[in-house]
Amino acid sequence: MPRLGGNSAKASSGINALRPEGGDSGATFTGDVVASGGGSSREELVRELVDHSPEAIAFLESYGVQLGGVTRLGGHSVARTRTVTSGANVGWAIMSALTAAVKAHPRIRVLEGYSLRRIVTAAAAADGGGGGGVTGVELAAAAPDGSVEGTSSSAAAGAVAAVSCGSLVLATGGFAANRELLQSVAPEAAQLATTNGPWARGEALQLAREAGAALTGLSDVQVHPTGFVDPADPQAGTKAARFVDELGRRDAVAGALLRLPARAAWLLLGRDAAAEYGQGAVDFYVKRGLMTRAETLAEAAKAMAVAEADLRASLEAYAAAAAATAAAATEAGGASDPASADPATGKVVFPHPPLPDSQLPYFVARVTPVVHYTMGGVAINERAEALAEGGDGGNGGGNGGGGAVVPGLYAAGEVSGGLHGKNRLGGNSLLECVVFGRIAGANAAAAAAAAAAASCAGGTAGGARGAGGAA
């Protein structure tokens, strides 16, 4: 794309980090990640993510990112998700600060409007095949939509730049906007809309494979339950009733939505819930016409095309369930009591009940499941090194790689696979980018320096590329 940012700039849920002062622990955080992923996460990757999460927040704050808000997302045992309390969404705040720092750095050159066309390896330089260490990349001028022709191992015409490098970090995102690839690996998701921008096509995955890297978990695609429906798109058959635990895991909530006749529902936030989510982000959605601000219950009912009495009854039932659960928790010494769960939904945590009349204004939006995130990608280890093809590294969802690495090749963020298992825990995407981005950067820099030193000394660079200090 012609500018930096990608899906990270669109992220709005927040960024997770250990929060012991809120009752969190490494074991609790790890358990939530593993449970959300259906037990398919690589344990060493989860450990790195959790252990380095406080450092990730400190790193962002050192660049001026203000993460003063704390909220609890679906699938979390405690509130540990940091977010912004004013201004634009959290992803935009992070990417704006880091982009400014990168562009101001005297030793960093940012090439905008180019696309990765080929990863050059030692073996490829000789015979066109993969398998050797990374020696460089080929770039091509990108079209306005970010597409580029000829993304294959063959040196097709049109390459405009060849860049030598001792190591390479892939941070190119996922493939949720590539309907053809989705059709081949997760056909049940291919017909849904997506929250991703047009850049999320995953071309780098095939390039990494051609360079010798294993791919893992491509069939694991996350469907997000709350993609906004444009009000201009007419919907029918609406009624006011709750049908799911709103703080359930994303896959569970999305599954409940998909079972509804219209595959859509209404999202309603009261005043305090909107403030905790981030008033700036909510106001942005209102400005875009994706949410409606309702100053009264009657206005909310009108926006939802339901009877005011029905909406009031639904909200009062929610408030009653919240009060009963709170009373049971008090009796139990402060812990949520599963026995007092809402019988309609199984919900035991009720933050900010949208009480009729006293939690105004309301913010309402029509939501539907959308393709949001692709858990699979380049198989990596805890050092963010790309694992070499071998073992189960294909589309079937295995962990792949078998321990050998592609010398000089690293991956971080959604382009990598193995961390999230079958379903990503909300708030872990930005955290993954920061934690493994820093690990990849530190190890790639050390490996490149070691390779250069070995070359200057008359040695072979290939064996040195695997070196590097801890991040």
The enclosing domain of 99 has a CATH number of 3.50.50.60
Phi-psi region of 368 (alpha: psi -120 to 50; beta: other; left: phi over 0): beta
| pLDDT tens sequence across 42-89 | 999 999 999 999 999 999 999 999 999 999 998 999 999 999 988 889
How would residue 131 be classed by pLDDT, with cut points 50, 70 and 90?
Answer: low
Between CA 227 and CA 238 the distance in angstroms is: 17
The answer to whether residue 47 sits within a structural domain is yes
**Beta strands, E only, 99-238:** 114-121, 134-141, 161-164, 168-170, 215-216, 221-228
Name the residue range of residue 355's domain.
224-370
pLDDT of residue 155: 39
Residue 117 has which token pair? 């066309």
116 and 135 fall within a common domain: yes
Q: Tens digits of per-residue pLDDT, 409-441?
A: 999 999 999 999 999 999 999 999 999 999 999
Whether residue 392 contacts residue 42, with contact meaning beta carbons closer than 8 Å, is answered with no
Q: With cut-offs at 50, 70 and 90, classify the pLDDT of residue 343.
A: confident
| Pair (85, 231) in one structural domain | no
Identify whether 469 is part of a domain: no
Between 191 and 375, the more confident residue is 375
Residue 176 lies in a domain: yes
Q: Are strands 405-411 and 168-170 parallel, antiparallel or unpaired?
A: parallel
- Report residue 259 as tokens: 């079972």
Does residue 422 sit in the same domain as residue 310? Answer: no
pLDDT(467) > 70: no
Residues 231 and 308 in one domain: yes
> What integer pLDDT is reported at residue 281 of this predicted model?
83
At residue 71, what are phi and psi to the nearest 5 degrees?
Answer: -140, 170
- Chain CA centroid to CA 128, Å: 34
CA distance 167 to 401: 19
104 against 469, higher pLDDT: 104
* Residue 254, C-beta contacts closer than 8 angstroms, at least 6 positions apart: 223, 224, 225, 369
Residue 185 shares a structural domain with residue 207: yes
Same domain, 427 and 396: yes
Residues 240 and 297 in one domain: yes
Number of domains, the chain: 2
Q: Are 22 and 167 contained in the same domain?
A: yes
What is the CATH classification number for the domain harbouring 251? 3.90.700.10
- Choosing from 341, 370, 399, the residue where a domain stops is 370
Could you tell me which residues are beta bridge partners of residue 374? Answer: 221
Domain boundary among 370, 401, 419: 370
Inside any domain, residue 44: yes
Alpha-carbon distance of 34 to 38, in angstroms, equals 6
Confidence of residue 394 (pLDDT cuts 50, 70, 90): very low
Domain end among 351, 370, 389: 370
Question: What 8-state DSSP symbol labels residue 391?
Answer: S
Q: How far is CA 397 from the centre of its chain?
A: 18
Judgement on whether residues 414 and 353 belong to the same structural domain of the protein = no
Indicate if 55 and 80 belong to the same structural domain: yes
> Rounded CA gap, 469 and 144, in Å?
39
Question: Is 376 domain-assigned?
Answer: no
- Answer whether residue 471 is part of any domain: no
Q: What is the pLDDT of residue 235?
A: 46
Is residue 375 assigned to a domain? no
What does the alpha-carbon distance between residue 400 and residue 28 come to, in Å, rounded to a whole number?
A: 27
In a domain, 56, yes or no: yes
Q: How far apart are CA 158 and CA 444, in angstroms?
A: 28
Q: In terms of Cα–Cα distance, which of 76, 83, 4, 91 is closest to 34? A: 76
Tell whether 356 and 450 lie within a shared domain: no
pLDDT digits 0-9 by tens, 141-189: 876 655 555 444 333 445 578 999 989 999 999 999 999 999 999 999 9
pLDDT surpasses 60 at 465: no
Tens-digit pLDDT profile for residues 234-263: 443 344 577 787 878 888 888 888 888 888
Residues 47 and 98 in one domain: yes
Give the pLDDT of residue 125: 57
